[in-house]
Structure 1
């Protein structure tokens, strides 16, 4: 599945010339909606040929791209699930199910440029440093490392 994730992210970043999940969603005609969702961080759903990413407007601005990228992962990888019900996110880095792991890996690959990641790693930066430098949660940096190891093998 990592190969499919890598191919999909590569295809999207080349087509839209960006890693910005909001720009990619716009290009894919996915409506992004903000609502007060309580403890729900966001969700993705597909209804009547319309695609939606709903993001909790009460979460920090730094997390909104992560939520959007994660939900884009569901759009690209799990559309068949979303046709039956909304895919909801309570825990941002939930790795307990295959679809959630895949969406998290998709988000890591989309949000973290490989070249910049390797520059920082080779310069001796810790994951915490890289997380701060890129304004991306450390969990995503860890997932990027897992993806990088897959690429190297």
Structure 2
């Protein structure tokens, strides 16, 4: 799936439901989110049994980790991934997957977190943008920096009195 398509799916969800919180979006979409102790390595997973999705998050996660993990798992659902179960493991956060379903789910998570945020107040560094929107540093390769830079410039020009 192309990046622009993923961005459009995320943006349309945010516009329709007026939130970019993936846990709230799951509730709006009728996708159950459960919490279980999944150990130290598994952050969460999404199942798709008989066409019905559900998401399980590790009860050990912080609220920020739960949010981006849910966003990743929701990405599997919204991108139409047909796998029976997709797991997000802590060890896979640092592998630079640049194609396939894990890439698409990570891109969806990033686009979802960017969707409702105005970038005009953020600092001009990549780290500043990530921190301002609570995107984890490991997700930097999944940010479309050309798009973000364009948005920053557009917002700066709109805010100026020139």
TM bucket (normalised to shorter chain) is 0.7 to 0.9
**Distance verdict in 2 for CA 1:77–1:95, change over 3 Å:** farther
Q: Deviations over 1:47-98 (max 9, x none)?
A: 13432111111122221100010001000113322xxx21111123544351
| Offset, 1:150 | 9.8
Structure 2 counterpart of 1:80: 82
Q: What residue ranges of structure 1 are gaps of 5+ in the alignment?
A: none
CA contact (8 A) 1:32 1:54 kept: yes
Could you say which residue in structure 1 is the equivalent of 2:16? 15
**TM-score where L is the length of structure 2:** 0.77
Kindly state the Cα deviation for residue 134 of structure 1 after the two structures are TM-superposed.
2.9
Secondary structure at 2:34's aligned position in 1?
Answer: strand
Q: Secondary structure at the match of 2:82?
A: helix
1:146–1:139 distance in 2 versus 1, CA, 3 Å: farther
Structure 2: gaps spanning 5 or more residues: 152-162
| Aligned mates of 2:79, 2:140 — CA distance in 1 | 21
Q: Which residue of 91, 100, 103 maps to 2:102?
A: 100
Cα shift at 1:115: 5.4
2:50 aligned residue: 48
Quote the offset at 1:149 in angstroms.
6.1
Q: TM-score, normalised on structure 1?
A: 0.81
